[in-house]
């Protein structure tokens, strides 16, 4: 499980590193343009500037020139908000990325900040272009109310997502079971949660997540059940297990393999149970290796494992 989490973290870091320089260069160019716009403020925004006094006899050209101050103002707003957002997100990422839960919270908060900033940015730019944002905000409030009544499931998903994160029910990197699907949590969004298993991604609405089994809170138990023949002496078999079992070392096991005794009496053999503590992400590999190593141990010590047989009786003629 830890290896999977480290792998995901490295993938995210590589993506950030590959995209980071491009974003930084764009922000630097936009910031330089904003600085220049403030330096030449009077030349661009003054009432008698070349963009506002109408230097051409063509109304179309004058109209295009009159758009330049608005475009520059929009770029100023967008750049300043993007720089502030980048600084805030950078501080949050550096301050709180120390555990899986904090990474999950940071992602959720970052998504919410980006959504809020985008809305504010759009309203501010529309105001620069002379659109009545008061009426727009009022209309948006009414529309939000109407849409909200018809999108109760979406609101339920958002609220459920917030409770999942802040109640620390599970985090990115945890292995959980929801219904009949077991997978690793790869992301917890505002509306959905994504689980990965064997290369498949299952997307579940947050409000549909109920009865979660979090299998990474404590070490899991790998179990191996092996039958021996009724003809073998149980005392002899257990003496061999006592002597040879400590010699078996398997990667991924935390506390070593333990012999738990007789699990059941089957139709053709006695079922012995072996268990070992391991991380949930390693449980299947550990179980497979346990079965292999125990089979080898039994074979080396002459302990028979029963298998179905058919006995045919002849007539004697």
Please state which CATH class domain 220-300 belongs to. Answer: alpha beta
CB atoms < 10 A from the CB of 159, how many? 13
- The per-residue pLDDT for range 53-91, each reduced to its tens digit, is 666 666 666 667 677 777 888 888 888 888 888 888 888
Q: Are 75 and 68 in contact (CB under 8 A)?
A: no
The pLDDT-based confidence of 18 (bands split at 50, 70, 90) is very low
Query: Is the overall model pTM greater than 0.85, yes or no?
Result: no
Q: Is pLDDT above 50 for 15?
A: no
Burial class of 87 by CB neighbour count within 10 A (0 to 12, 13 to 18, 19+): exposed
DSSP codes joined into one string, 278-317: E-GGGHHHHHHHHHHHHHHHHHHTT---------------
pLDDT of residue 27: 74
Q: Which residues of 186-197 are buried (b: 16+ CB within 10 A; e: fewer)?
A: ebbebbbbbbbe
Cα distances from 26 to residues 50, 73, 82, 230, in angstroms, run 28, 17, 11, 76
pLDDT of residue 292: 93
Q: Is pLDDT above 70 for 217?
A: yes
How far apart, in whole angstroms, are the C-alpha atoms of residue 297 and residue 244? 8
DSSP codes joined into one string, 84-149: HHHHHHHHHHHHHTTSHHHHHHHHHHHHHHHHHHHHHHHHHHHHHTT--HHHHHHHHHHHHHHHHH
- The per-residue pLDDT for range 268-313, each reduced to its tens digit, is 889 999 999 998 888 899 999 999 999 999 999 888 888 766 667 6
Report the CATH number of the 161-214 domain.
2.30.30.60
How far apart, in whole angstroms, are the C-alpha atoms of residue 257 and residue 275? 6
């Amino acid at each position: 499980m830890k290896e999977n989490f480290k792998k995901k973290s490295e993938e995210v870091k590589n993506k950030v590193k590959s995209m980071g320089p491009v974003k930084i260069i764009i922000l630097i160019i936009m910031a330089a343009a904003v600085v220049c716009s403030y330096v030449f403020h009077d030349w661009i925004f003054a009432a008698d500037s070349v963009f506002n006094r109408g230097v051409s006899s063509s109304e179309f050209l004058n109209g295009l020139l009159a758009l330049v101050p608005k475009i520059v103002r929009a770029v100023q707003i967008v750049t300043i908000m993007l720089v502030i957002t980048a600084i805030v997100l950078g501080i949050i990422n550096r301050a709180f990325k120390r555990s899986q839960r904090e990474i999950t919270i940071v992602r959720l908060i970052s998504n919410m900040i980006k959504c809020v900033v985008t809305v504010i940015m759009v309203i501010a730019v529309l105001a620069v272009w002379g659109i009545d944002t008061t009426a727009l905000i009022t209309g948006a409030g009414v529309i939000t109310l109407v849409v909200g009544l018809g999108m109760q499931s979406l609101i339920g998903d958002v609220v459920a997502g917030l409770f999942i994160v802040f109640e620390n029910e599970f985090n990115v990197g945890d292995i959980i079971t929801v219904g009949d699907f077991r997978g690793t949590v790869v992301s917890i969004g505002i509306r959905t949660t994504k689980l990965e298993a064997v290369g498949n991604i299952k997307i579940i609405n947050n409000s549909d997540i109920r009865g979660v089994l979090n299998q990474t809170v404590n070490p899991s138990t790998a179990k191996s059940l092996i039958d021996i023949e009724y003809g073998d002496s149980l005392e002899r078999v257990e003496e061999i297990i006592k002597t040879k079992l400590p010699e078996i070392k398997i990667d991924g096991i935390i506390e070593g393999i333990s012999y738990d005794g007789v699990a059941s009496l089957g139709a053709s053999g006695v079922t012995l149970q072996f268990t070992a503590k391991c991380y949930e992400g390693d449980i299947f590999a550990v179980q497979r290796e346990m079965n292999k190593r125990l089979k080898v141990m039994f074979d080396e010590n002459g302990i028979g494992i029963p298998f179905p047989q058919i006995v045919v009786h002849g007539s004697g003629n």
